[in-house]
Amino acid sequence: MRKSNNGESMTPLERRASMGLAGIFGLRMLGMFLILPVFAIYAKSLPGGENHVLIGLALGMYGLTQALLQLPFGMASDRFGRKPVIYFGLAVFALGSFVAYSAHDIYWIIIGRAIQGAGAISAAITALLADLTREEHRTKAMAMIGTTIGMTFAVSMAVSPIIYQMIGVPGMFALTGVLSILAILVVAKMIPDPGKSVFHSDAEVSTSRLSGVLKNAQLLRLDFGIFSLHSAQMAMFVVIPSALITSGHLPEAQHWKIYVPVMILAFVLMVPMIIYGEKKAKLKNVFVAAIVLLLFSQILFSMVLSSFWGTVFGLLLFFTAFNILEASLPSLVSKIAPVSAKGTAMGVYNTSQSLGLFTGGAVGGVLASYGGHSAVFVFGAAMSLLWLLAAATMKAPPAIRTKMYPVEKMAEDQAKLLSQQLSGLEGVFEAVVVGSEGVAYLKTSLKGFDEEGVLKLAGVKP
């Protein structure tokens, strides 16, 4: 009989692994986000940099190669080991950073960004984190990664103009390259080696479950949503930096004076909305309201881009909506996805996000070149409107949470029987026991479910 650790906190090993891998994840995002507020301005000093199409490709190319390779990297980590794949990915990311650093025209920056994205270790990191954390603490560990990504984005927006003034965009690329090399040392020295790497349904993509996830209309709505959100985000940064200079006569090195207060205020506005949505089971209402806010920001940008304060207000609306949606979308995926396919659903979701980054940069560049700056935001508004229509017809997610319990490994027929027994308990909406993993995945009510019955059936000692 296995002993429950539900009452215990994370072990020092789990905390070290979670914080270390969250930091590596944040580094990956830093390489993508840091150049956003300043690249369109810097590019104008490069051969070919006056072409908005090439600017958009340089911004978005990272997302394309990441989308193509992050799932294969995750599968490779199952075969060759987590750490070797992470080492290789970080080395590729560093190579791309140094290629972009040494670039003398925008074409080589595009190549460098493509190589950066090819170091697609997100899935391998998630799998390693699952190897190093117990089931009852894995959600907390994954939340650390999500929080780190959000903080990295906010910090990048705030400090990017300051770092640009100090070392320029080439220096930013060199910095991310050096940090990637240091990250290899962190993984080697700080992150424990897993005793055994196994497949985790809650954290990894299963090809056998991929078809079901891709046929799930509710999940597809969320995948389209994250695609649309990051398309609008990336397209926006093709033109916003120049708009701040033109409309407000504000040098790029001073743009932090806009981004810092906007990001702080957007965060302050976001927190109570997320708490309200989760606590009152009104997540869909908050979610749809945020999409409306996103749509309004795009319409506003298209109309007032020549007005400095109008643009600043548009940024506040956009980042408030962005923060709410970034925080709520993964929660919605977790609530809607079948418990046995959560990792697969998140893999498709993350791929959709990366494709959105590429599409936004590429389409934004084309529209800015041939349709003018306002056309970029007409595109963002159109994507937001389509998303709003899809979200409005989405089923409200149930007020549930996902829980995992260790069980003894068992044959498939035994696992199926235990799944049926667990599903019959009070407050349990769905239960799947994966006998080969030795884990029971449950969707339960937020409070009042028969946990004692779950522990008894699962053979876990309280």
13: confidence class by pLDDT, cuts 50, 70, 90: confident
Residue 219, φ and ψ in degrees, nearest 5: -70, -40
Report angle CA 96, 364, 151 to the nearest 5 degrees. Answer: 60
80 vs 355: which has the higher pLDDT: 355
User: What is the CATH number assigned to the segment(s) 400-461?
Assistant: 3.30.70.100
Average pLDDT over residues 312-320: 95
Task: Dump pLDDT digits (tens) for 79-124.
Answer: 888 899 999 999 999 999 999 999 999 999 999 999 999 998 888 8
Q: How many CA atoms lie within 13 A of 226 on its CB side?
A: 24
Residue ranges matching CATH 3.30.70.100 in the chain = 400-461
pLDDT at 351: 92
Is residue 459 predicted with pLDDT exceeding 60? yes
pLDDT at 460: 57
CB 137 within 8 A of CB 202: no
pLDDT at 4: 45
Candidate from 137-146, 231-240, 261-270, 292-301 with smallest mean pLDDT: 137-146
pLDDT at 374: 93
Average pLDDT over residues 239-244: 92
Is residue 2 predicted with pLDDT exceeding 70? no
Coil, helix or strand at residue 303: helix
pLDDT at 436: 76
Task: Dump pLDDT digits (tens) for 129-180.
Answer: 888 887 667 777 777 877 888 888 888 888 899 999 999 999 999 999 999 9
Residue 264, φ and ψ in degrees, nearest 5: -65, -45
Candidate from 50-59, 71-80, 254-263 with smallest mean pLDDT: 71-80
pLDDT at 221: 94
Q: Which CATH superfamily is domain 209-397 in?
A: MFS general substrate transporter like domains (1.20.1250.20)
Could you give the residue ranges of the DSSP H alpha helices within 190-215? 207-214
Question: CA-CA distance, 435 to 87, in Å (whole number)?
Answer: 31
Q: Which residue has the tokens 């992050």?
A: 70
pTM for the full predicted model: 0.87
In sequence order, the 6+-apart residues with CB closer than 8 A to the CB of 262 are 312, 315, 316, 319
Question: CA-CA distance, 373 to 52, in Å (whole number)?
Answer: 10
pLDDT at 136: 65
User: What is the CATH number assigned to the segment(s) 10-196?
Assistant: 1.20.1250.20
Coil, helix or strand at residue 216: coil
Question: CA-CA distance, 160 to 185, in Å (whole number)?
Answer: 25
Is residue 462 predicted with pLDDT exceeding 60? no
Is residue 461 predicted with pLDDT exceeding 60? no
Go through the chain and tell me how many residues it has: 462
- Percent of the chain whose predicted confidence (pLDDT) is above 70: 96
Average pLDDT over residues 251-270: 90
Residue ranges matching CATH 1.20.1250.20 in the chain = 10-196, 209-397
pLDDT at 135: 65
Average pLDDT over residues 60-84: 89
pLDDT at 154: 84
Is residue 3 predicted with pLDDT exceeding 60? no
Is residue 182 predicted with pLDDT exceeding 70? yes
